[in-house]
Amino acid sequence: MMKEIVKKYIFMVSALFSIVVVCMMITSYKAAYKEISLHDTNINKVLLNKYKNELSTIKDSDCKKAVEEIVKHYEDTSYDGKVDLRDKYFNGKSILGYTLKTFDSCNLTDEQKGILSSNFITSSIQFEEIVNELYFQYELSVPDSWTRSTLKPTMDNVRYRINRSSHLDLIGDLIQVLKEGK
């Protein structure tokens, strides 16, 4: 008799446990944070158009292509409206990946390379490092456990715009260096 009561309670505990866990999972799944709303500034958009027009001043076609690739990278990784960081950056290239190709195509002097190298690195650190940091915050933002504290991705528009302009600064500096010539 006692055994039957224990068995009954075990079944009840199990059924209740299952319902609670499934309900918690469904709630967590619905609450999972997926998108962030980010917009580029008008100044950045105007600057980008200006730099795109200035591309025609580059005479060497290989060099022009190399700079165009950097501009395309900027456009491909630009946010406007609601964006999913995972979809955008999961297989994303770093701006550092364009360094060698640009240097080789544009036949830059060592001095110019020295200046632009630091610009490439600064640009990568200022924006891509932050995006990498966001990956982890994004991951932690999915509240899979009710005992785990969750973080929401903290990149707001201001932080995005400030750091985003580092890529544009690089493009501007590159065009300026190429304009000045050797």
Partner 1 sequence: MNNKKLYLYLYYASLFVTALMMILLLVKSPAKYYNGEYELVSGFGILACIINVILVAVFTVLFGIRKKLDKVNILFPAQYILFTLIVLVLCHLFNNKLLIPYVHYSYYNVFILFNYTLLNIYSILSIGKKRRRKRK
Site residues (vs partner 1, CB under 8 A): 3-4, 6-7, 10-11, 13-15, 17-18, 21-22, 25-26, 28-29, 32, 34, 86, 90, 135-136, 138-139, 142, 144-145
Q: Which is nearer to partner 1, 85 or 171 (CB)?
A: 85
Distance in Å, CB of 97 to partner 1, minimum? 20
Q: Please check whether residue 120 is in contact with residue 96, taking contact to mean a CB–CB distance below 8 angstroms.
A: yes
Smallest distance, Å, CB 77 to partner 1? 17
| CA separation for the pair 164, 174 (Å, rounded) | 16
Least distance in angstroms from the C-beta of 100 to partner 1: 28
Cβ proximity to partner 1, 33 vs 103, nearer residue: 33
CA distances from 114 to 68, 121, 155 (A): 21, 11, 31
Sign of the Cα pseudo-torsion (110, 167, 152, 136, in order) = negative
C-beta of 10 vs 162, nearer to partner 1:
10
Q: How far is the CB of 133 from partner 1 (least distance, A)?
A: 11
Instruction: Rank residues 133 and 156 by Cβ distance to partner 1 and give the closer one.
Output: 133
- CA angle (179, 104, 59) in 5-degree steps: 35
Q: Which is nearer to partner 1, 103 or 135 (CB)?
A: 135
Minimum distance, C-beta of residue 151 to partner 1, in the bound complex (Å): 11
Kindly tell me the burial class for residue 171, based on how many C-beta atoms sit within 10 Å of its own C-beta (0-12, 13-18, 19 or more).
buried
Could you give the dihedral angle defined by the CA atoms of residues 120, 158, 71 and 56, in that order, rounded to the nearest 10 degrees?
A: -100
